[in-house]
């Protein structure tokens, strides 16, 4: 058995059989494997009472190590891919990202802890736990919720309830992200000037205006096709991925801090 190789495929051939056998008896078979998305083919020759394989194609290409992002539009793929590769967000178990699914308070807490390393902040290291009746210790986001509460990045509701499954609005998600990032203390006149170009700026809750102005000033904001912020709409995974990607790009632009000796 000899081999003929290309960059992607390897063909294992029995050249002796190819030279002496009758080509009218040769059968070419191929099949597609869905699980690996690969095409395999073989050559068989009839030996009187059975077929004998005389050539086999073997895929030698190494599989991509990048996460595969499914169920997204082409315009979303780059920034969603970047966020998944940075492990700030993950695909669902079926490999899909589902960009139109909504973000819950528990999911936001987990994302912020990873993005801003909130667990390393001094306030997060206090041993005393905060009692949250609707987030027991076995909850998947228990530790992350403890951290965002201790660092005051997120707050509970009356009776220390957190409502981990409650979906957030864009105003809430952007404002809380800005809280972790650091809200710029703009004077009110500057906030109004920053928000003025957006047609729906009057619908931004008063408590979120300075935080959203911060995100706009940093170039992190995304809008709809009409240039609206839509602050009262639910925040989707696509919205969060865009915000995170813009933050990652800004981090890459930061010059290296000189070492003082």
- The neighbour count for residue 211, using CB atoms within 10 Å, is 23
The per-residue b/e assignment along 141-168, b for 16 or more CB within 10 angstroms, e otherwise, is bbebbbbbbbbebbebeeeeebebeebb
Q: What is the pLDDT of residue 78?
A: 87
Question: What does the pLDDT profile of the chain (261 residues) look like in tens digits?
Answer: 444 333 333 334 444 444 444 445 555 554 443 333 444 455 555 556 555 554 544 443 433 344 444 444 545 678 899 999 999 999 999 999 999 999 999 999 999 999 999 999 999 998 889 999 999 999 999 999 999 999 999 999 988 999 999 999 999 999 999 999 999 999 999 999 999 999 999 999 999 999 999 999 999 999 999 999 999 999 999 999 999 999 999 888 665 544 444
Q: What is the pLDDT of residue 181?
A: 96
Has this prediction a pTM greater than 0.85? no
> What are the structure tokens assigned to 149, written together?
């509460």
> What are the structure tokens assigned to 167, written together?
């979906």
Residue 20 · residue 64 · CB < 8 Å: no
DSSP symbols for 133-174: TTS-TTSTTHHHHHHHHHTTSS---GGG---TTPBPBHHHHH
The secondary structure of 172-195, three-state, reads: HHHHHHHHHHCCCCCCHHHHHHHH
Q: What is the pLDDT of residue 10?
A: 38
Q: What is the pLDDT of residue 7?
A: 39
Residue 202 · residue 137 · CB < 8 Å: no
Q: What is the pLDDT of residue 159?
A: 87
Helix (H) or strand (E) holding 209: helix 209-217
User: Quick one: residue 237, left, alpha or beta (phi over 0 = left, psi -120 to 50 = alpha)?
Assistant: alpha
Place of tokens 């499914």: 70
> What are the structure tokens assigned to 66, written together?
């990048």
Q: What is the pLDDT of residue 53?
A: 53
């Amino acid at each position: 058995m000899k081999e003929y190789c290309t960059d992607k495929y390897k063909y294992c051939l029995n050249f002796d059989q190819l030279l002496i056998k009758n080509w009218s008896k040769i059968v070419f078979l191929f099949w597609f494997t869905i699980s690996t998305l690969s095409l395999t083919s073989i050559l068989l020759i009839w030996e009187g009472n059975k077929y004998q394989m005389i050539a086999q194609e073997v895929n030698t290409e190494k599989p991509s190590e990048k996460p595969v992002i499914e169920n997204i539009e082409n315009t979303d793929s780059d920034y969603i891919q970047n966020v998944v590769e940075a492990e700030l967000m993950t695909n669902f178990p079926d490999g899909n990202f589902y960009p139109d699914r909504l973000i819950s308070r528990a999911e936001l807490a987990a994302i912020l802890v990873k993005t801003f390393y909130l667990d390393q902040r001094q306030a997060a290291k206090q041993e005393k736990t905060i009692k949250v009746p609707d987030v027991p210790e076995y909850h998947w986001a228990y530790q992350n919720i403890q951290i965002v509460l201790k660092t005051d990045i997120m707050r509970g509701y009356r009776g220390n309830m957190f409502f981990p499954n409650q979906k957030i609005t864009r105003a809430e998600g952007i404002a809380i992200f800005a809280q972790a990032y650091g809200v710029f203390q703009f004077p009110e006149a500057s906030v109004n000037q920053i928000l003025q170009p957006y047609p729906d700026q009057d619908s931004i809750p008063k408590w979120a205006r300075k935080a959203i102005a911060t995100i706009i000033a940093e170039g992190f904001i995304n809008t709809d096709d009409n240039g609206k912020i839509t602050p009262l709409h639910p925040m989707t995974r696509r919205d969060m991925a865009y915000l995170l990607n813009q933050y990652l790009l800004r981090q890459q632009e930061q010059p290296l801090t000189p070492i003082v000796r």
